[in-house]
Structure 1
Amino acid sequence: MLYKALNNIAVSYIVLENDKIIDCNLNAVNLFGYDRREDLLGLSPFDLSPYLQDDEEESHIKGKVLIEKAYREKMVSFKWRHTKKNGDTFLAFINLISINGLLFSIITNIDELQEAEAKIRQTDDMYRLLFDESQVMIYFLDVKTKRITNANKATLDFYGYDLETIRNIDYIDICQLTEDELNHNIELVLMNKRNYFYSKHICANGETRDVEIHAYAFTLNNRDFIIAMVYDLSERIKQNLIIESFLKNSPTPIAVLDNDYRVIDVNDKFTELFLYTKNEVIGRRLDTILTPNSLEDVATEIAQEALKNNFVRKRTIRRRKDETIVNVEIVAFPIIYNEKIIGTYIHYIDITQTLKHEMQLEVFQKVLENNTEGIVITDPEGRIEWVNHAFTCITGYQLSEVKGKTMNLLRSNVHNEEFYDNMWETLNRYHHWHGEIWNKNKNGEIYPEWLNIYAIKSQNNITNYVGIFRDLSETKVIDQKIRILSQKDVLTGLYNRVYFNDNLERVIKKEENVAILFMDLNHFKEINDTLGHYAGDQFLMEIAHRLEDLLNGNNDTIIARYGGDEFIVMIENFTSKKQIASIARRILHMIQKPFIYGGNYLIATASLGISLYPKDGRTSDELLQNADMAMYAAKNKYDRKIMFYNPNMRKAVDERFKIASLLRAALEEKAYEILFDPIYSLKKDAIIALEAKIKWHNKQLALYSRQKYIDVAIKTGQINHIFDFVFEDICQKLTENQDLQMQIPISINISIEQLEQYTFLSQIKDKLCKYNIDPSLIEFEFTDNNISEKSRRAQKAINELLKLGFNFTLDNFGQDNSSIAQLKHYNIKKIKLTKSIFKDIDKRSINYELIKLYRLITKKMNILLIAKGINEESQYKFIKDIKVDAAQGSYFSKPLTFEEVKKALKH
């Protein structure tokens, strides 16, 4: 509006329409003693006048006459007495000008500004003052010629022309509008329907600038003109783009507040953290929605400090939309434009995990500080950085006495240089050394200690060494019986881990054949869960007794309980790998014998991994790690529970780490999509069900088989993220496409490990409430061996899902370990036969008879029998002939996107 231009000149100015003030400048506000421009808008000029003028004529009557004269003659000048807000009056000189139905009143306070009277006595002088002194770009446009007739200095500077040049340029060449568009805009101004426009103007140097134009029409000598005020928006738009990019790409939640602490904008990270949509927070004060009641004053204080041009950083709590509390660090700082504070940026950093880590570090520090073993931490060069209280008690040195010094201050003369060289060689090679060492305390006394040194690494670089030691002075003099007891496991009476490791070190030094048999009990957890820990302890003691009875006749054998349900056996001087395999089989056979407890027959199996010295490792750590690796390989083999270590196992571990890393990256980058593999009824020749499958858009991950990445996802817990995405996506699609009347179920693969998690059921129930879908439209799919290995917790979860209305499909049925007896325990609606059963099949094969048997059983049990992996016409004809119910495979269809599924169902 014109008001913006007049803010920059020393003239009081109001605009009248229908005897009401519709606009004014700041000088007019100050002249009449008001606080805000809005206080004047809507008032009548007679509201600002006394009842009688100086000539004793009523202001209302006299003013009406002057207004009518101004409309007739376009301009009238006169003296007028005005009244201020506080009641004081002043005599003013008024220039009342009529422009296109509006009255522009230029007011000069005669009492205060006598020296300005000469300047504004004539209308031309007033216009020149407005025109020349304004910092706003102003020009006059002849409507008929569409050329600029006059322009002020600000205009000429902006466009880069002198006055003579700009007068000879067609306006259409500046405003980048077509002739029709320009005529339309001029018509809007002439009819007073629109007075502001946004446009792009071309300057003399060819640069295009974004501008805001305020235009008003007036007539002079029967000719139409437009007075235009132009504001450069280029810098403002550039700043807005920068701010928008900053908000959009910031990794932290951000809110932008105005000076009244109300939200102007928030970014997506803000909505993710606090669960509000943009529309729910814009225009509101954050302290009313995010701040717990007890902290409202603190929230206001943060915003106030930022508006004082202060940088604020504070840790506090905030409340999400779901009423949960989140720990945040708030960083607030002012937004400054044209050297004025116009608002506040507030960053919210979720520090929930940070606080947990800090708390854990504090706990760890207290544990270390109060540990009865001496602990010392050094830098990579061996300079001491920290010691605990036990260190001081044992050595006599305070931290202040040893900080920055090396451990050489404790060195005695008991050991030669070769001892220390070997210690460092081991430490540098394996990042761990342990053994007995004689050191010297502050008093000069030499004492024995058992020392463990660990190299701490970060990104393949050693950052610290940690030494943990205990004083062996008393141990050296205690009774040999107590020494032996210290070597034993309290529960089972077998040797413990420390003793076993010490002896393994001793035996390796003899460089004789050594076998390590690492054993872990399968399903021991179920005994604890079902009968209690006391029963579990009794079972472990029984296993220990059996191992002793079986192996203690051999003096070259050491048996130890390594921890939990893990046992370890060391056999020296073995003659052959065959001998070790025979012993391993005898151990497993012995463990499988029933153990009677409380009238219950307890039966367990074990997985056993074997490493051999020197073939599989030349140090105790290597042998133990490789035996452990072989044991886990045995756990993953259904038909082989004894495994000798081979180098491929380490490759398999490396491969699992690689797959886990690729999965993590793919999930973070959302490099996947859900496809749906149709299941066709052979009788109806139509889709009767779908199986959800995830397709990775990560080329490296796509190289691995589906089973491999699923196994890794289960072990790493990433299967939970995958399931959550798939399940929610399906729920959402079912909700959004109810109009399709798609009543065919979609199956999702799950594992026993998921069912054993306490959060799994609540995760599903939450989605059911959120999307309000029919549970019968979703089926959960197990593999056959999964279902046979269920735990008590998994069984409970299955029963809950059945009660909710979900159904189950049994996958890969027909493998060696398939059990028809399992079918009666679950509400199984479908069985998928394993792909391998259809390979090279003919009517004379055993597989053919098995399929006929399965067909007969499922028909009796009213279970749908599905053939998987039907990729060839010969397979299709075979299953059609044998009357299998349904089939799935590339012969019928590739996996489809959901849009393709909808098209397929419509046809």
Structure 2
Amino acid sequence: MRRALTSVYRIMSNLSHASGLGYFDSFVTELAAAVDADVVLVAGRDPVTASFELHSAFPATLGIQGSRVPIAATPGEIVLQQGEAWFCDRLPQLFPQAPLFIAHRVRGYAGIALRDAQGQTIGICSLWFRQGMDSMDRVMSVLRLLAPLAGRELALSLSRTDVPAKLPLPAMDSMLAHAPVGIGKLDLQGRLLWANPAIEKMLGYREEELLHRTAAELHHPKDWLRSLACYGELVRGERSVVTLEKRYRHKLGHELWGRVTVTLVRNERHEPDHLMLLLENIDDARRHAEQLKLSHRVYDNLSEAILVCDADSRIISVNPAFERITGYSSEEACGLTPSILKSGLHDKAFYADMYHTLSRVGIWRGEVWNKRKNGKLYPQQLMISALREGGKITQYIAISSDISQTKLAEQKIATQANYDNLTGLPNRWLFGRSLTRFCERGERFALMVLDLNNFKAVNNSMDHHVGDALLREVSDRLVSRVRTEDLVARIGGDEFAFLVPGIVSRRQAEVFAKQVQGSFARPFMLANQQLYITATVGVTLCPADGSESDELLRNAEQALFAAKRLGRPLESYCASMREEVRQRHQMQQDLAEAIKQEQLTMAYQPIWDNRSGRVAKLEALVRWYHPHWGQVSPADFIPLAEEAGLIQSLGALVLWQSCRDLARLQQSGFPELQMSINRSTLEFQTIDPQASEWLRVIEHFGLEPSDIIIEITESLLMESSDQHRIRIESLREAGCKLAIDDFGTGYSALTYLRTFPVDLVKIDRSFVRHIPFNEQDRLLLDGIINIVHNLGMQVVIEGVETREQLSFLCQKGCAFTQGYLLSRPLAFEDLVAYLEVNRAGMSLPIVS
């Protein structure tokens, strides 16, 4: 609606000094420019023949033969019936009997009836469009606002015909009866003696109701008091004519505006005899004047800047928004050209194209960088319209808005969408787009994916802020190691990617990757600590390994995964990795089916109490025999279960079978045995805070919670999640024991032992392998054992394979030992036999 008001304001401003035929010539030209119409016609109705004669047309060279405008079988018929009509497209198909539309290739149409002051249709204004329109809402809004003014002007034009100086009386009566304006006679007391039908229609009264009513009764009370003095001057003969604009009261009670001219008529003795009045209904005009006044207010209060130039591009008017945005006052700008705003960022061709477009189509839209008075540049959204009169450009109107904040917001959104907020590097989405473009150009390049090792442990053990600082420092080092033409991106939490053009061989790629890994040779100084971090890299080549972005990125990540699995710092993609991935996926499916069918079995490794020389505990170990691959190592299928989301189902199966077998053993004469069961971090994340799921299984087999030892890893310990702590405390309160598995293989585990309620610490076999002969290992293990004992916990040593190791551990006071020296993991039937043989215990070195 605001655009429609702006268009109407512009048209009305340009027509304010025109009248008659010149009015409508300008009217059709301005209207065509405002709504981008190809043809505009104004036709007036001939009251004698009831036909429509062409009054004005745009363009002037339209070439319609004759002055009669055909109405039959055209949308004009609908306009006459309904007052308006519009069709967005397919006009020839809808009106096949209108050859004029076909001849001029018209597809869209909008028309409105033009009415006089009495509401009679006296003409039609129609707009033709050679291109189909999506909507006619704005076009019809403009027509509805302009139609009353155009109808009034057309009525005046049609009434400006020469008449004889003296008319016969019947002709005079006919003229008075059919006059479009009100004519009446008043006596000197203000009573209405005679009125023509126009007054009756305007005020809503019948003739008999009007006669002998006073002017005071027909006026709005407030306006009658103001005009009473003027009537008094007429009656006294002090004035001969008065013209006033004031409000009248319609019979139905509403108000309407009229322009009245009252003339004093004298008798033969030249004395005041009566008054004649000429009353024109200007209600629509007044309302349009209010709208025009509103348009002026809009002009002054718009947030958009408006600049008006003459045909020579000299500024003749600006609104307050222009002054506020540019810094130039109206007095400073008027008389100058818009070149005072040029930023210098656009060349001559840009402005030449702008003026060419204005000359050809009359309107230009686009974004422009301009300069304020203080010299600062700013972007603006600009629309320029060229106003024509007689085919020549007379004025330019520019409407612009400062889009600085919009540009900043767009830039911020684009940055957030394309770049990593933490490091400022391109993110995965932007890297993917760049990778796609390189692939489409058929260039040769290397793609590398780098992943930080043990970043999660660092992040959890220190502080998330420290982890963020580490990622920023890593990104800075990586950028410093590559060339300007290389692209570095952060594509995951601790995962980075490199696109390196020009590399054509794996040897080149591996040399480059090692240079990148050299970034990690120096320690990172974070939180006043020196921190050494390593990284693993996966490499793939284009086009040798693939020519599509998704395929290449998948290959690089497969190479990274292979390097991680093999414990290597670097691995290049090869075709066999694809088969490995396929096999891994197949194995995941087979594992899911094996868990569902309970095809996995359990083995139990005895844990000896060094003080009593008896088996005190069992560690539950799951086994999977695959019909194709044979015996699959837990080191392979347990990580597979975690990746595939199967670990919860696998853990539930292990807990169920372990508790079932422990209950059978206790019933077979081994009531003191305890069962140690491994639980993964992922399982801890999914059980309820009270760990009731696990406790219900223990209770189901009639076991005491104290019979069960829950083994967790250091990684769970280091996450130090409140939820994990709640679950651990719930298990301990129920009576379960807690053990830390593979102690010493993680990161800074000693710092957490004193904060967690741990019963047993299982020291990894890597600390035992070289004792008692290696002095360094012996001293290190001795220190760990002392710390654990000082914290009030007991030690389980894993991987004991020689009597020398066992003797040393017993001398150091280790409570429990486990390893191949004492027993391998045993199936249930073999375990029962083993326990029977060793029921009396065996001779072990005495724990000191």
Structure 2-normalised TM-score? 0.42
- Structure number, greater radius of gyration: 2
Structure of higher RCO (CA pairs closer than 8 Å, 6+ residues apart): 2
Structure 1-normalised TM-score? 0.39
